[in-house]
Structure 1
């Protein structure tokens, strides 16, 4: 029944797209995040749904959309450069078959992220894309939040729509995404127009935020706890009474402690004592191996180059010797073919220093651009200049959206220190949303400046005519 419902829902979206081709873009976003072909077992896996929506989105844009306001941003250029270089490194990859498999989904994610900003030419489209991203990820998050609240969960055992701990369904990845979209959810409770922010929207939004906060508990992912702390810090920037917010957050945190399972405490303790945790110790060992690897291979080893690693490290082991005595011994552990467990080291090992530089520029420019929009459009809203796009200015939605996208990106950049999600499709869609907002605001600013120039010229012509007509 679920398989049939998913299939009919996607077919309905594709059919509606014949009247509104932008719906095909939203359909691809939905499929790319939820991956219904992994949820179903007969109809949806048998059809190339992702490819159908991918082609339909491009065809609809080429055939119908106006190209008048199309802008090619610097960050889109960086994505193209990263795409081209990833293609080159795939050609000389240490493990050609594995690299080709990863390239098979990375290029699609990058190409669509490059393309998506071209379609985000209005506020409605920007909001619709963000809404589909939030609600699609929210479907997974609500599922996980309910299971956590009902006593389910556990590290690598919080099963969601699929019994597969990979992609966005991987514990640490889902925890990072769940916390990163919280600012975007809160934006919809204040500035949304698709669903006006009445009490029902606010109630659903706050409930979804609560579900997002439950995901790190249900997955017992240490990354999620770090992301919560980072989000709390960055959101203090917009708080009017920061001390009160800090105190309220502390009280809520303490009130939640009795309801957390003991396994969660045990898992979180390893954040400060990583030397005694095999998973954390392995990550450090892999990072050291990656630094040694790029010293010999500065241009990278292609996708999945980590499969060539092999290392031995010492892990402290505590043994009870009596009631009050604990003996700590060191045990040698040999491991190989361990993943990077960090987006930064993932790009470094696979695309070398050049790829890492491009990737960091892509994200660094995003933070800068969102900060520029945040300050500029907040000032426009305050001044209410009426510069040709009065409705857009007085509504004041651009600056809060830029802040939400910036905060979400900061959460991702911190969380990705410990998770290999450099090319995660959801994150690339998030970046595309930033680029779309930047291009939209730049277009509106250009139009406003052109309107001002025409108004000044008209006033000047009127003044000249009046001067010429005046009696001497």
Structure 2
């Protein structure tokens, strides 16, 4: 039954795309994030959903979409360079077979990230992508949030639709993504037009935000807790009543502590001292190994170069029998440990050139969103508020990802590149809006290709 429902849903989206081809772009976003072919066990695994959806999305844009407003940004050019560089390092990879396996999905992420902004030429399309991104991740988040609320969480024990530790279903990745989409959830609840804001939309948005906050608890991912802290600081910058916000946030945090599982609080305590936790100690050792590795191979070792590492590190534990306390030190040897950091993932696999391209791509996006946010911070019209608040939400999501990537190997996770595509589209939308106002001063600017289109505009 589950397979038939999922198959019918995807098939329905593909059929709707016959009327409006942009829906195929949204279909690919859903398929890429959720992976319906992984959920099934009989019919779905045999259907190449990703290939079908991407082929339809690209063909629909190429054949039916207008190209007059298509622009290619510098950030897309950076992604194109990164794509070519990753292909080159894959050819020269230290572990060619393993590198080819990762390249098989990374190139699709980068190609779609380059392609997606070309399709986002209106407000409705920008909002639709933001909505599908939120709801696709929200599908997994709601499932995990319900299980956590019912006591089904725990490190390595929280189960989702897919019983595998990869993609959006990996605990640290999901914890980061769940917190990163909260600003977009709040923005859609205020400025969305697909589902006009009313009490039902606000109620669902509040419930989804709560489920997002439960994911770090259910997965016991320390990265998620750090992301919540970053979100709290970023929201403080945006709120007008800061002292009231700080008081309420502190009160909610204090009231939540007694309800947290003991296993969660014990795991979060390991943030204070990495030597007391083998997982954290391993990360430090891998990062040190990576820095030494790129001294000899500054251009990186290709995908999955970490398979060549061999680590010796020490962990400490405290043993008490009630009267005496003994601190024990143990030397641990490990091999082939993953980077557990998007930054060191890029450094070890693509070297300093790849890391530089990756950091420049993200830094430009954050700076561009800050410029738009400041420009429209005191916006008085609906257009200006829409621009400013979306830029603020995208920047917050991006910054949360950058913090999460410090401690999770998510350099190539597709959700951040979809957020980046929205940023690129927003920059072009602001430029078109400004150009139209200069061309027609004093007139209302609402043509179909601008972010505030006339009523009835099709995507």
Shift of 1:453: 12
Q: Provide the residue aligned with 2:403 in structure 1.
A: 414
Return the alpha-carbon distance in structure 1 between the equivalents of residues 201 and 104 of structure 2.
Answer: 38
Return the alpha-carbon distance in structure 2 between the equivalents of residues 433 and 247 of structure 1.
Answer: 33
Contact 1:69 1:443 in 2 (8 A): no
Return the alpha-carbon distance in structure 2 between the equivalents of residues 67 and 227 of structure 1.
Answer: 39
Q: Provide the residue aligned with 1:295 in structure 2.
A: 295
**Per-residue Cα deviation, 1:230-283 (whole angstroms, up to 9, x for no partner):** 100011111111111111011111111111110011100000011110000000
Contact 1:156 1:165 in 2 (8 A): no
Return the alpha-carbon distance in structure 1 between the equivalents of residues 413 and 74 of structure 2.
Answer: 21
Q: Provide the residue aligned with 2:216 in structure 1.
A: 216
What is the TM-score normalised by the length of structure 2? 0.95
Gapped regions of structure 2 (runs ≥ 5): 444-459
Q: Provide the residue aligned with 2:369 in structure 1.
A: 370
Greater per-residue helix proportion: 1
**Per-residue Cα deviation, 1:316-338 (whole angstroms, up to 9, x for no partner):** 13233x42311112211000100
Q: Provide the residue aligned with 1:179 in structure 2.
A: 179
Return the alpha-carbon distance in structure 2 between the equivalents of residues 40 and 372 of structure 1.
Answer: 45
**Residue 424 (1) aligns with residue 413 (2):** yes
Tell me, what secondary structure is at the counterpart of 1:355? helix
Which of these residues, 397, 401, 407, is aligned with residue 386 of structure 2? 397
Larger radius of gyration: 1
**Residue 441 (1) aligns with residue 430 (2):** yes
**Residue 239 (1) aligns with residue 235 (2):** no
Shift of 1:315: 1.3
How many residue pairs match? The answer is 443
Runs in 1 of length 4+ with deviation above 6 angstroms? none
Return the alpha-carbon distance in structure 2 between the equivalents of residues 86 and 12 of structure 1.
Answer: 36
Shift of 1:378: 3.4
Return the alpha-carbon distance in structure 1 between the equivalents of residues 192 and 92 of structure 2.
Answer: 47
Which of these residues, 451, 454, 464, is aligned with residue 440 of structure 2? 451
Contact 1:120 1:440 in 2 (8 A): no
Q: Provide the residue aligned with 1:248 in structure 2.
A: 248
Q: Provide the residue aligned with 2:339 in structure 1.
A: 340
Contact 1:144 1:218 in 2 (8 A): yes
Compared CA separation, residues 229 and 453, structure 1 to 2 (3 A): closer
Return the alpha-carbon distance in structure 1 between the equivalents of residues 68 and 430 of structure 2.
Answer: 15
| Alignment RMSD | 1.3
Tell me, what secondary structure is at the counterpart of 2:327? strand
Shift of 1:398: 1.2
Range moving further from structure 2, 90-99 or 433-442: 433-442
Shift of 1:392: 3.0
